[in-house]
Amino acid sequence: MNIDVKKILNEKPIYSGKAKSIYKIDEDKVLIEFRDDITAGDGAKKDIKKGKGYLNALISSKLFEVLNKDNIPTHYIEYIDPVYMVAKNVEIVLIEVIVRNIAAGSLCRKYPFKEGQELKRPIVQFDYKSDEYGDPMLNEDIAIALDLATEEELKRLKELALKVNESLKKFFDERGIILVDFKIEFGRTKDGELVVADEISPDTMRLWDKETKDILDKDIFRKDLGDVVGKYEIVAKRIGCI
Ligand code: TMP
Ligand code: ASP
């Protein structure tokens, strides 16, 4: 595809989030720019980590390609060197879909799970994507009452999220990495199809080294454990991006 990135970047982004900016290419497509900004705790903690945008663009693109190969619909079209991804222009569903294989993070803060405990079966959790309300957890009735999705769509979101989990868990496992948990977002295409959207990167997943259990994701930044970009680089190398 012939996309004039420079020209597109001359226009204002149609959306700018904490770590990505979205530019319109045309009615059907957007250009996603992965920036070096890193935040935690809803932006309470902020920094810029050189090279993070590049690694997340590469890793996200690779993981969307893995999903597409496994026949899971996504918004992904192509990667553009160094920090860009071309994607379908979709309407983002305001539900953060979290899938957990191993207990960590807020699950252990809110419920009596032990950090590192393997879960009997994956947990799928829906959070309301709203900085204003602090991303509270949803149940089906609240999600429907808020018009975030229909009952059928909620079923489909769960089904697709579990498929994404199976696909990525296997992919990472074969590369010496445990997929502890992750957050994905979905979009509605013009035809009303639900597709995996946004990003899938170490900013939005927990990844542990299978042998050493070393943390290879944004928890390094959240918990001040050292060189976060160095860990993302390990992930990118293991999955064959660099
Ligand atoms: P949690 O344990 O903090 O609820 O996080 C679950 C997963 O979701 C973890 O892989 C990190 C990811 N996540 C995001 O991508 N964005 C967020 O705003 C939060 C809180 C978590
Ligand atoms: N995504 C949130 C933020 O960037 C929280 C987090 O990932 O810890 O502030």
pLDDT in tens, 77-100: 999 999 999 999 999 999 999 999
Range 132-145 average pLDDT: 98
- The predicted pLDDT at position 2 comes to 87
Residues with CB under 6 A from ligand 1: 98, 104-107, 135, 181-183, 204-206
pLDDT digits (tens, 9 = 90+) for 187-225: 999 999 999 999 999 999 999 999 999 999 999 999 999
Q: Is the pTM of this model over 0.85?
A: yes
Q: Which one, of 186, 123, 106, lies nearest residue 154 by Cα?
A: 186
DSSP label at residue 239: T
Structure tokens at 39: 């935040």
| C-alpha 220 to ligand 2 mean position (Å) | 13
Beta-carbon contacts of residue 207 (< 8 Å; ≥ 6 apart)? 172, 177, 178, 179, 180, 215, 216, 217, 235
Residues with CB under 6 A from ligand 2: 18, 39-43, 218, 222
Range 42-56 average pLDDT: 96
pLDDT digits (tens, 9 = 90+) for 113-123: 999 999 999 99
Is the pLDDT reported for residue 138 higher than 80?
A: yes
Ligand 1 atom nearest 109 alpha carbon: 2
- The predicted pLDDT at position 1 comes to 77
